[in-house]
Amino acid sequence: MVGVDLKKAREKIRDFIKNKVEEAGADGVVVGISGGIDSAVTTFLAVEALGSRRVLGLIMPDSRITPREDIEDSISMAKELGIETKQIDIAAIHTSFMKNLEANKLAEGNLRARIRMSILYYYANTGNRLVMGTGDRSEILLGYFCYDEETKALTDEGFKDYKELKEGDVVYSLDAYGVIHKTRVKMMHVFDYSDYLLHFEGSLVDLAVTPNHKMLLADENRIYFKRAEEVGKKNVIPAVLGSASEQLKLAFSTTRATKMEYAGKVWCPEIPVYNNLAVVRKDRIAFSGNTKYGDGGVDILPIGDLYKTEVRMLGEILGIDRRIITKKSSPRLWEGQLAETELGISYEEADKFFDMYIEEKRDFEQILSELAITRNKADLILQRIKASEHKRKMPEICKLR
């Protein structure tokens, strides 16, 4: 497996955490501790970077479903590191929500994740801290929201491609009224990608985006987000420069997406507030949505470029309890949930596939043969790469003028 030098990665991640906290003028970080390997490695590295007094760990079980061993492992690890912790049982909060909501297993699981995110940001705000995410590359690769290499962003300094665009660059974003605002790139993400893109092409627009990318669309009364794959089979009117009413008069501007095989870089900048930016492709300007990958409800993702198997190996280097290292991954959003059960494969299998398919760009049939992996499992991995786990859209506003 083509990996990274984990000793160098350890140093680089420590520097990354320290620099980001200093740049933000923050007093430290807050991290959700789950008892799993990702949060353990992230917390260990945070303490190495900042010292134990600048790291706050939140243990947020739902006492009805969270295994006791997860809570015990979280407490034990926090004591070993000497960090302050707060344990908050989210069961009562979740129950308060559900008193007036219809039961739905998936939606309730996602609600638990959002409750935890809100609590993390509460303590980040009260203590001038950054929220540190614990997602790894294996999870990131399950959901892309990106542009192709030909797409450039409109900035104050002209159009910039993914190699030129950097944190802090001034870009342009559209609000729900159709008003253009200046904003700044918060962070840039660039990945190797080998799969299909959806190519939206019309007289006024040209966009090539990953299937989960959020398209910014317009009709008579509103501007809204929709996943590229969901609008790919329909004629759509992307949010191009000009008002929605003007776009509607230009019926010929409607476009239908086609699949485009692609192997190269894809990129996604984090844009605060409106979550979209003005881009150009083949001299056609449009506004297009983009969103943070992963859970999104974080400020930094220190281990976001490490595969799950690499995170476990780094855990060995850091001396993390082997019970945590070998524990099966689970978001703990409902009782008995295991990430690998949902995937239908182990992370070891998925990471080997990712490495050969994405990093080495190996032939699909060759991968099946070498890994002795079934076609159904391989197809499942590809489906997960294409599938979106998060659906965000701008709030719709009732226009009164």
Higher per-residue pLDDT: 245 or 154: 154
pLDDT at 160: 94
Q: What is the pLDDT of residues 338-386, one digit of tens each?
A: 444 445 566 676 667 766 766 666 777 777 777 767 777 677 666 655 5
Residue partners of 353: CB distance under 8 A and separation at least 6: 367, 371, 373, 378, 381
- 335 close to 66: Cβ distance less than 8 angstroms: no
Of the CA atoms within 13 Å of residue 193, those in its CB half-sphere come to: 29
The segment with the largest mean pLDDT, out of 75-79, 249-253, 263-267, 347-351, is 75-79
Higher per-residue pLDDT: 96 or 2: 96
DSSP 223: E
Measure the CA–CA gap between 274 and 96, rounded to whole angstroms.
30
Is the confidence at residue 400, as pLDDT, over 60? no
Measure the CA–CA gap between 212 and 144, rounded to whole angstroms.
6
Residue partners of 134: CB distance under 8 A and separation at least 6: 31, 32, 34, 38, 39, 42, 301, 303
Grade residue 260 by pLDDT with cuts at 50, 70 and 90. confident
Q: Where do the structural domains in the chain lie, given as residue ranges?
A: 6-139+296-325, 152-289
Is the confidence at residue 3, as pLDDT, over 90? no
pLDDT at 380: 64
Nearest CA-CA partner of 169 in 131, 178, 158: 158
- Structurally, at CATH architecture level, domain 6-139+296-325 sits in 3-Layer(aba) Sandwich (3.40)
pLDDT at 207: 87
- 171 close to 154: Cβ distance less than 8 angstroms: yes
HEC letters along 4-24 = CCHHHHHHHHHHHHHHHHHHH
Q: What is the mean pLDDT of residues 305-332?
A: 80
Residue 304: CB atoms within 10 A of its CB come to 19
Is the confidence at residue 334, as pLDDT, over 60? no
Q: What is the mean pLDDT of residues 204-222?
A: 74
pTM of the model: 0.53
pLDDT at 2: 46
Beta bridge partners of 170: 184
pLDDT at 351: 66
pLDDT at 138: 63
Beta bridge partners of 105: none
Is the confidence at residue 394, as pLDDT, over 60? no
Measure the CA–CA gap between 333 and 329, rounded to whole angstroms.
12
Q: What is the mean pLDDT of residues 174-199?
A: 77
pLDDT at 284: 82
Q: What is the pLDDT of residues 298-316, one digit of tens each?
A: 788 888 778 788 888 899 9
Q: What is the mean pLDDT of residues 3-15?
A: 89
Task: Indicate the helix (H) or strand (E) that contains 92.
Answer: helix 91-98
Comparing 212-221, 319-328, 377-386, the range with the smallest average pLDDT is: 377-386
Strand 129-132 and strand 276-281: the pairing is unpaired
Is the confidence at residue 118, as pLDDT, over 50? yes
The hierarchical CATH code for the domain 152-289 is 2.170.16.10
CA distances from 395 to 21, 225, 275 (A): 31, 10, 12
